[in-house]
Amino acid sequence: MNSPVMIACAHGTSNTQGAAEVNALRAAIAELRPGLDVREAYVDVQQPDLVDVVAGLPEAEPAVVVPLLLSVGYHVKVDIARAVKSRPGSAAAAPLGPDPRLAALLDQRLREAGTTDNDVVVLAAAGSSNPNAAVSVEELLGQLQALRSNRIVAAYGASAKPSVPDAVAMLRQELAGGAGAGESAGAVDVGGRVVIASYLLAPGYFHDQLAKAGADVVTEPLLPSATLAQIALDRYDAAVAKMRETPSEPALEAAPGAPEAGAAEAPTDAQAGGIFKAVRRFVTKYFPR
């Protein structure tokens, strides 16, 4: 199998800087892996649309959609899954997060913003109606807590709770010695600041909203960073390895009540389909168009 095409699929944004940062991420991926065909696609706002990119691939060209997204959510579970299902020979990789390298990058952004041990931190993610997205963010939260002594809580820009402004207000009250402060709240020292750690890829609508949430400091988004390009390639490699582990022909397991192995039996529709697919793969591989 030749290296499948990588479809680096982002959410899409109308923010010029954000779009440029994501395009630079794709360029960094291609630079790290010379010869890899890295294509652009989006699930919202921008073009080309993922469905059109997948549909426009050459016949029998394998492809892996790598979500340039930070957690499992609607776009991964629905949009990307549907696009992949619509075309045999394509697969979806895992999203970029959670990953300990992202936690380290967030720690770097917090240090760049001058965060001290006395500050409290809101880990601000975009949010999703899919509960798995919150699970991913909580896992990332644990990875970040392993790197810092600050009190850190997760919050969301949309579709999940607490919202970022609510989390900021709660921590502001704790810092002032209000309800919930003290040892049970993480022994926060009075006098610290509320810092938002932007768990977002690039500037855009959600990052703009963080500035309005009432915090003292908002960190920069994750991009630009070479770390994201390496994580994307790792997700791609894992998906390709899984594709290659799949047998070239389906395993013929006997169903309950099926004849014993070796018994004379006409091929089933599924077996005939498997044989046809195997022949088609052989022709495609050795007699390319």
CA distance 242 to 93: 10
Q: Token pair 């044989």 is at which residue?
A: 275
Burial letters for 14-44: b for 16+ Cβ neighbours within 10 Å, e otherwise? ebeebbebbeebbebbbeebeeeebbbbbbe
d(CA 17, CA 221): 11
111 close to 130: Cβ distance less than 8 angstroms: no
Query: Three-state SS for 255?
Result: coil
* Among 161, 144, 48, 139, residue whose Cα is nearest residue 95: 139
pLDDT digits (tens, 9 = 90+) for 125-172: 998 888 888 899 999 999 999 999 999 999 999 888 999 999 999 999
How do residues 69-113 score in pLDDT, each as one tens digit?
Answer: 999 878 888 899 999 999 988 999 999 999 999 999 999 999 999
Distance between CA atoms of residues 171 and 174, nearest Å = 5
CB-based contacts of 104: which residues, under 8 Å, 6+ apart? 147, 227
Residues in Cβ contact with 192 at an 8 Å cutoff, skipping those fewer than 6 apart: 116, 118, 119, 120, 175
List, for residues 40-78, the tens digit of each pLDDT value. Answer: 999 999 999 999 999 999 888 999 999 999 998 788 888
CA-to-CA distance for 205 and 96, rounded, in angstroms?
20
CA distance 64 to 242: 11
- Share the mean pLDDT of the chain: 84
Looking at residue 91, its amino acid is A
Distance from the first to the final alpha carbon of the chain: 16
Per the structure block, which two tokens stand in for 252?
Answer: 């013929």
